[in-house]
Structures are given as structure tokens and as C-alpha cells.
Chain A
Amino acid sequence: MGINREYSMYSAANDEFIDFLIRDIGDGIVSPRLATCKPGDLVEIGGPYGNFCLPQTLIADDVYIFIATGTGIAPFHSFVKTYPELRYTLFHGVRHKEEMYDRKDYAQESYTVAVSLPEDGSSGLRITETIRTTVLDPRAVYYLCGNRLMITDAISILRDKGVPGGSIFTETFF
């Protein structure tokens, strides 16, 4: 179809197949077409491009905090699967519980979810509220991926908590 979109890899670096986590945007152009793909269809992939990666040599003492909304969890899934020894905490903001993709792949104590539109009618919670009320280590390295409003708010919260700008890395959706 001749249209490019950028997606983060979901699979681990050494997996046999490359996986992507893509939400079908109803009025989009590319994702609805991808949703109708069948095994055997040809999809061209270029890249990889970009800098949203962990350091090539992980420092054992480093603690990583990942903050994602929706499918913004994709690069963090790849990080966690690639480096099983990674010391991380993942904050995941979703609208509905079924967006907690592959929850089992994250250690119980490392995964915190905020559901903004719970099905049971209870009041929802945004991930930015969760991180605002959580004690966070200002010496940790922070990776943020997801919608830009979350990222704008999260950066502001992290700076208020004393996290230096050089320890915050972002990948913004558009």
C-alpha cells in the first residue's frame, strides 16, 4: 500500500520471530489493513531505526522504571524478555483490563497497572496519578512510551520528584 508506520518491536532481541503489538485504529489507514493480514501475506519491514534502547552494556546496579500507556508497553516487553536479569518496575496505563497484554511476562512485583475505564463502573485511575503517589528512586533510569499527554505529565511529575532530565528517555506516539 506504500505507507510507512513506525512500530516498536515487542519480541526479544534473540527470538525466532519479530513480534509487534499494534492496536487496530478503526479510522486508521495502516493498522486496519494489518488486522486483516493472513499468514503468507507480504508485509515489508524496514529498519530498525531510533534510539529508544537500553544501553548495550547493562550496569548491574541500575534500576529501570518503565512507564507506558496502551501498546506503548511494546518496547518494555522486548527489554524484559531480552534481559531476564533486568531490575525494573513497569507502570502500565490502560483503558480496559484486556489491554494488559501478556501480563504473565512480567514479574508480579514489577508490574503496576492503572485502568482508566474499569468495566465495573468504579472510578478509573490514570497512570500519571499512580506515579504521582508512588515513591520513586530519583537515581533510576526512566523510559516513557505512549501518548504524548501522558509523557508530558509524567516528565513533569518525575522532575518534581528530583529525577534529572538526563535520566528520562521518551518515545512518543502520534
Chain B
Amino acid sequence: MNAAPLSSRRPLACWLAFAWLALLAGAGLLAPWLPLPYAAATPDLLHVAAPPSWAGTGHYLGTDPLGRDVLAGLLAGARRLLLLSLPATALATTVGALAGAAAGFWGNRHLRLPLAAVAAALAVAWWGLALPGPVVLYIILALAGLLSLLQWRGPRAAAPWLMITLPLDSLVLGLTTLLGSVPRLILLVAVLAGPPLTQPQLLGVFTVVAWPETARLVRAQMLRVRAQPFIEAARASGLPTGRIWWHHALPHACRPLLAYAPLSLAGLISLESALAFLGIGQGPDVVSWGGLLASVRQDPTVWWVAAGPGIALLVTLLALQKIANSARYSGSS
């Protein structure tokens, strides 16, 4: 990307972006203890679609066509970002980074597991799923014991038939392709078509939808890092492979995430707001910025309902983009 049109006044804009996000985080964290006259989800049926006023009703930013206070809704939406979008991005980034880095580092042919461990895992799975036929379970267990005995007795790094290669790269790439075959919004619409999910379930769904992008990015970076001389040096000095991966390769492969994680958060926030705007997968008592924006459609004259959440959402997304840009330039220079 070309830096020239964006480089002017970068520090100030970046500080403003951080300040806005800090304000948002503070407001979201303190939302339950702030002295607001109205709760976010309870409608005030005496003042439906009331314009903003500083005197009298106490609806400082007005109410929406359902009678919900806009200021309280803004704070509740900020809290929702803090409790749902942020943890989901963190989880998805972690999962994606680990999966992508493993896939890029070991590829399809280099992760070799001892056959005994595979047999043991199979036995545990058999027992856990309560599959029929205890005889089969005993046979697998006996096989695992025999294999581990052979492995233990035999000389080190010998007997290639005792090892099995796991095609990690194909597995991760296949999963990302599968999840990428449907647009994220449509996949979420389909999954959330059921009854409203609880908070941990929502977190899981958002994580599943968001991790493939990160995994693809980290995998591509890891392919570059793997070929660097310092990895070769680490191998030559006899470090175990897992240690090389964790201590030497992973930190370098995760460098682009510094710039990508804010963008990923922005993507999840706009995805979640779009879902709330469509009214899918939300309990009736959940207030979010997207939900507030949706209530404008019932009455297009109430501009104050659209202005608050709309500006808050836009400024948040622009701030995240600003931070991602400055992280990218400071990372590349």
C-alpha cells in the first residue's frame, strides 16, 4: 500500500484513536454503575421518540420509537462490544495464529507422531464416545501398549513404520476453505436462525467464523519465516522442534497480527452490528448499536436515534483502522 496520502498528522490522529477507544472501554466497563436515570432495555412508554432534551424528562439523547433511552443504549452497546467482540477477536486471533503457524511450520510431511500415541488417542476417543464393541477397544489398547514398548526398546529415530505423518497443512487449509465457502454474514444468519444463543455460545460462533483469516495470514508469514537462516541455525544447534516453533518461529510469524488484529476486531464489530441491525440472533432485551439503528426504520424522522450509535460505530471503526495503519507502518519501517 502507498503510505503517502495517509502519513500526514499521523501521531495526533493515532492518539485521538487511542483516546476514543479508551473512552469507549471505560464507558463499557463502568456502564452498570453510571448514574443513568433509565435502564437500556426498559422502555419509557410516556416518552416515545422523544427528542434530546437537557431539561425535564432526563433523556439527554432522546428516546427511540420504542421508548428506550438512547444514551443508556449507547453505553449498553459499548459494554456489548467489550464483552463480546473483543473476547471473540482475542480468541479467534489466538486460535488462528496457533493453527496457521503450526500448519505453516510443519506443512504436510514434517509432523510425525508416534503410532503408539495415535493408537492411545483412538482408544480414548472410542471410550469417550461409547462406541460399541469393548473387544475392539481392548485390541486397540493392546496394540498401543505393544507399539510403545517397541518404540521404547528400539534405538532413537529408527523404525520409520512406527511413526505416522499428520497432514496438518491440508487439514487447516481445508477447514479454512470450508468456512470460507459461505460469506460470514450468511453463515451467521443461518446458524443464528434458531433460538437466541447465550453469551458463551455467541462467543464460540464468532470465533469459529473469524479465525480462518488470521490462520491464512500467519501461515503465509510462517512459510517465509521457516526458510530464514536463524531457524536453520536453531535446528543445527540441536534444539527440539517444538521449542524452535514456540520460541523462535512463532513470534516472528505473528508480527503482522499487530496490524491485522485491529482490522479483525473492526470486521467483527461491523458483522455483529449488521446482525443486530437485521434483528437476527438477538434476545428481545439485548440493546446494541445495530439494534438501535434498526429502530430508525420504523420512523425515519427520529434522526437522533441514528446519529448517536451511527457516529459511535463509525468513529470506533475508523479509530481501529487508524491504529492498524500506524502499526503497519511502524512495523515495516
The answer to whether A binds B is no
Residues of B within 8 A of A (CB): none
